[in-house]
């Protein structure tokens, strides 16, 4: 694939996920469910034997495990921006670190998959189109991402923690290249509740998802954040944080 320049926020995203790596696997329960559902949906449309598979943004392996539980894979290539993710990869897989936009790939892939990662890519249509070029005819693209309601509470309070490419399910019709035929598209919003702002911010840090936030929190900032969040969104259940996952499965014509 042709190299694209490194994105300006990539270093921050990498640092943020690296910092959360020890806590990610157990803290990222939504991402674990989302990865499982992606593999489950794929299993309803794709054959269960796949020769060449590439997964990017593997993190600690939620999707890798979900795919291995449901499919027989001969050659598994894994990628993440954070080189330390190699420690979570199965020994039979090849791990390639760095931005997915720069990973060398063959042109006969049966499946390209990724969970909870593509929202971090600045130029989503270009990267998806370039990746699709590496699928064989009949090959599969299986992605989960997040829609425009993802963390909307944070954004409406002025946080810059948002990833650059939140897209709703229907947006994927325009993002995918014409050669990719959609076989599954869904979106299902859910809310997690926190007793206070510290617990909510800790959740973001532990799951590494505040990669675009540059803010350092003083005690005064924290108090102001808690007050605004409670005034605007607080309920007897606590402080809500919206997740807005999207699942996309397409086949190359």
Ligand X SMILES: C[S@@+](CC[C@H](N)C(=O)[O-])C[C@H]1O[C@@H](n2cnc3c(N)ncnc32)[C@H](O)[C@@H]1O
Binding residues for ligand X, rule: CB under 6 A, are 13, 17, 28, 31, 35, 56-59, 62-63, 79-82, 85, 99-100, 115-117, 120-121
Q: Which is nearer to ligand X, 13 or 76 (CB)?
A: 13
- Tell me how far, at minimum, the Cβ of 29 lies from ligand X, in Å: 10
Residue 91: count other Cβ atoms within 10 Å of its Cβ. 4
Helices (H), 133-216: 152-156, 172-175, 197-206
Q: Give the burial class of 174: count Cβ atoms within 10 A of its Cβ; 0-12 exposed, 13-18 middle, 19 or more buried.
A: exposed
Q: Which is nearer to ligand X, 76 or 82 (CB)?
A: 82
Residue nearest to ligand X (CB): 59
Q: Which is nearer to ligand X, 18 or 230 (CB)?
A: 18
- Tell me how far, at minimum, the Cβ of 97 lies from ligand X, in Å: 8
Strands (E), the chain: 49-56, 72-80, 94-97, 109-115, 135-146, 180-187, 190-194, 239-243, 245-252
Q: What are the Cα distances from residue 103, in Å, to 1, 22, 77, 123? A: 7, 25, 10, 16
- Tell me how far, at minimum, the Cβ of 117 lies from ligand X, in Å: 4
Contacts of 23 (CB under 8 A, 6+ apart): 205, 206, 207
- Tell me how far, at minimum, the Cβ of 237 lies from ligand X, in Å: 25
- Tell me how far, at minimum, the Cβ of 144 lies from ligand X, in Å: 7
Q: Which is nearer to ligand X, 188 or 221 (CB)?
A: 188
Q: Which is nearer to ligand X, 100 or 213 (CB)?
A: 100
């Amino acid at each position: 694939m042709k190299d694209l320049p490194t994105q300006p926020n990539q270093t921050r995203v990498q640092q943020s996920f690296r910092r959360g790596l020890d806590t990610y696997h157990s803290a990222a329960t939504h991402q674990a469910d989302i990865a499982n559902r992606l593999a489950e949906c794929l299993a309803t449309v794709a054959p269960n034997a796949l020769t060449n598979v590439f997964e990017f943004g593997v993190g600690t392996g939620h999707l890798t495990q979900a795919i291995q539980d449901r499919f027989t894979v001969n050659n598994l290539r894994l990628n993440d921006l954070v080189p330390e993710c190699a420690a979570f990869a199965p020994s039979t897989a090849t791990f390639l670190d760095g931005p997915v936009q720069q990973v060398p790939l063959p042109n006969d892939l049966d499946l390209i998959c990724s969970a909870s990662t593509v929202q971090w890519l600045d130029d989503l249509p270009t990267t998806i189109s370039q990746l699709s070029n590496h699928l064989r005819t009949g090959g599969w693209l299986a992605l989960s991402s997040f829609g425009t309601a993802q963390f909307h509470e944070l954004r409406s309070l002025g946080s810059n923690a948002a990833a650059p490419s939140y897209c709703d399910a229907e947006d994927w019709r325009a993002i995918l290249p014409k050669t990719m035929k959609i076989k599954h598209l869904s979106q299902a919003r859910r809310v997690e509740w926190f007793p206070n702002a510290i617990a909510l911010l800790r959740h973001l840090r532990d799951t590494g998802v505040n990669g675009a936030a540059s803010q350092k929190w003083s005690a005064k900032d924290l108090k102001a954040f808690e007050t605004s969040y409670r005034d605007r969104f607080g309920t007897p259940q606590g402080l809500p944080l919206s997740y807005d996952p999207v699942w996309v499965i397409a086949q190359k014509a």
